[in-house]
Amino acid sequence: MANKTIKELFLAHRRELQTYLTRLLRNAEVASDLTQETFLRFAERHGENPAAAVTHERSYLYRTAHNLAIDYIRREKRERTDPVANEGLSDFPDEGPSPERTISGKDELALMRAALLELPERTRQIFVLARIEELTYREVATRLRISESSVQKHLAMATKHVMQRLRRSPPRYL
């Protein structure tokens, strides 16, 4: 920047650079942003090493603007998602449970809930903490102030009871 200040360069070349970028990108807003980025990079380069002055400022500005435009276009191509018609979405399989499986799951849940309510309070509490809240045996034992072996015995009893109840009352299907 031997001859001109950044302000002088901006006033002299901003409009032509922005017009060039607008034609190249077909987007005036992006062209405006990239024009500002071009001058910012020019100023940063000059600020980092004033001894490495740019001898052909206009050429440097155009090359920088062109490179920024290419980077922008590449980024847009990578990020672009093409819309899909609604008809195309029907080709994807529905991975959700079938209506029969949903009803069956609700039946199993109701049976499990009923089986849990038949358990003694302490056993039910241990089952909920260990199997539903996913606490470790040690965490359950600490919380309830009992031994880990007691937790294991209560869980074994609860699991056995729930499994027997589910076997006796198989879920109904449509």
Distances (CA, A) of 169 to 18, 51, 58, 103: 75, 87, 84, 14
| Per-residue pLDDT at 167 exceeds 60 | yes
In this predicted model, what pLDDT tens digit does every residue of 103-140 receive, in sequence order? 877 888 888 888 899 999 999 999 999 988 999 999 99
Q: Which residues does 115 contact at the CB level (< 8 Å), separation at least 6? A: 161, 162, 165, 166
pTM reported for the whole predicted model: 0.44
**Cβ-contact 172, 107 below 8 angstroms:** yes
Between CA 67 and CA 38 the distance in angstroms is 9
Q: Which domains does the chain have, with CATH numbers?
A: 6-79 (1.10.1740), 99-168 (1.10.10.10)
Which tokens sit at 25?
Answer: 């990108």
Band (pLDDT 50/70/90 cuts) for residue 3 is low
